[in-house]
Amino acid sequence: MAGGNFKRSSAEIIADLLSEDGVKRAREYIRSEEFKAERDRIRQNATDRLKNVSKRYRSRKRTPEAAARERQLTLRLAEVEAEAADLRIRLSELLEEEQKLRSELQEL
């Protein structure tokens, strides 16, 4: 394929993509005041959360070692919670399989 044809076909593909309804709606939404307001709200919430975290650590006047230990424990807790969620999912899969097998047995 010659360089000019590749550029032309690439431009046509991009033009086709940009003319699709979903892309047009997305572009309009990103330019909208609603999107800007939502983005500002999310930024403000993130700022507030960061301030709360800072206040929480400052108010306790913990040593850096205590703060590090809390971070370690928090990370370990998150790992345990994730593992527990995985186990709950696996349990639900096994319960579904058990139910399926019982119904198949009853059909026999």
For each successive 10 residues of the chain (108 residues), what is the average pLDDT? 66 82 84 88 90 73 82 93 93 91 88
Residue 73's pLDDT is what?
94
Altogether, the residues listed in the chain come to a count of 108
Q: Can you tell me the distance from the alpha carbon of 35 to that of 89, in angstroms, rounded to the nearest whole number?
A: 35
Which pLDDT score, from 0 to 100, does residue 92 have? Answer: 92
Q: Specify the pLDDT at position 74.
A: 92
Specify the pLDDT at position 79: 94
The pTM score is 0.40
Domain assignments of the chain as residue spans, ordered by start: 1-61, 63-108
In angstroms, the CA 59 to CA 68 distance is 16
